[in-house]
Amino acid sequence: MFIERILKMYDIVIIGSGPAGLTAAIYARRANKSVLVLEKESFGGQITYSPKVENYPGFQSASGNELAEKFMDQAMALGAEIELDTVTGIEKSGKVIKVIGESSEYEAAAVIIAAGSKHRQLGLDGENELIGEGVSYCAVCDGAFYAGKDVALVGGGNTALQEAVLLSETCKSVTIVQDLDFLTGEALLVEQLKEKDNVKTIFGSAVTGLIYGDTLEGLELTDRKTGETSFLEVGGVFVAIGQKPENEPFASVCSLNEAGYIVAGEDCLTGTDGVFAAGDCRAKAIRQVATAAGDGAAAAVAACRYIDSL
């Protein structure tokens, strides 16, 4: 139920508490701007699902939770306010931007949207429990942990094929499972994979079950045409069937591309004065913790300059 309260005016409201949002909060507070960070689910964003991160500068190895806690601690120590609320819309009236949440409403001179995106999942029993124990959504992040093992990769688009190429360099074997009868990625990537002796493709099959004890042991595959099932023994599966942004609440102030990502360049400008987009929610080529943090810094600097010009 909506709880009405007296609105407090902030310099910047940041939507999302992942690496992009919290980096933006740190930069904005260091510029002496009042900051509110809104998060709808879990503080820290998608990085909290990564059991081990080894590609973020300054940390040889850390869990996603550890990184998220450090981001949070730093932002809060600098005076950023952080609240749980699900944003349902944004309205701009003159120089004031209203952020509408399920629990309250918030006003700001500038808004940074850092809502992230989610990896599309297979939707199978045990999938969430096996994250970090045989199920991964990022070969760049987790591929090194499966060196010398037999792995599967689900998907047939460019991202999937790029990850298959990467995995083939360190894994014993890579089996691509594609539910169509052909790969949809670029021809150059398909040709690269054909030259890999340790890569094979199973066409026309879907992953319909995860076989596991404490860790993943294999996959149940179902042939799309015959309905026959088979078992593929692997020590890990990488799911690369796309990501899903949840940017519908921001469509009134941002342009979205066909995939639903916010159209904004490296400057994080959305085309609406005072509204900026940072991290995985915006259209970009690389989605990593480091690039999200870079976006957060850029968006905060741009937002501060905008506020100072009012």
Q: Is 138 a catalytic residue?
A: yes
**pLDDT, tens digit (0-9, with 9 covering 90-100), for 44-72:** 887 876 767 778 999 998 888 899 999 99
> How far, in Å, are 9, 86, 97 from residue 4 at the CA level?
15, 15, 17
Domain residue ranges in the chain: 9-119+243-308, 135-239
The catalytic residue among 11, 141, 171, 304 is: 141
Predicted pLDDT at 6: 45
Superfamily of domain 135-239: FAD/NAD(P)-binding domain (3.50.50.60)
Predicted pLDDT at 4: 46
Q: Residues 182, 205: contact at Cβ < 8 Å? A: no
- What is the Cα–Cα distance from 263 to 283, expressed in whole angstroms? 6
The catalytic residue among 138, 171, 281, 304 is: 138
Predicted pLDDT at 51: 65
Predicted pLDDT at 120: 87
Predicted pLDDT at 127: 95
Residues 81, 87, 90, 91: is their CA dihedral positive or negative? Answer: negative
Q: Report the relative pairing of strands 9-15 and 105-113 from DSSP bridges.
A: parallel
pTM of the complete model = 0.76
Q: How many CB atoms lie within 10 A of CB 83?
A: 13
Show the 3-state SS of 92-136.
EECCEEEEEECCCEEEEEEEEECCCEEECCCCCCCCCCCECCCEE
Predicted pLDDT at 42: 79
Q: Is 142 a catalytic residue?
A: yes
**Consecutive 10-residue averages of pLDDT for the chain (310 residues):** 59 97 98 97 79 84 90 97 96 94 96 92 94 90 93 92 93 97 92 95 97 95 96 96 91 95 96 96 91 97 97
Q: Residues 216, 134: contact at Cβ < 8 Å? A: yes
Q: Is 141 a catalytic residue?
A: yes
CATH for the 9-119+243-308 domain, from 2.60.120.620, 3.30.750.24, 3.50.50.60, 3.30.70.141: 3.50.50.60
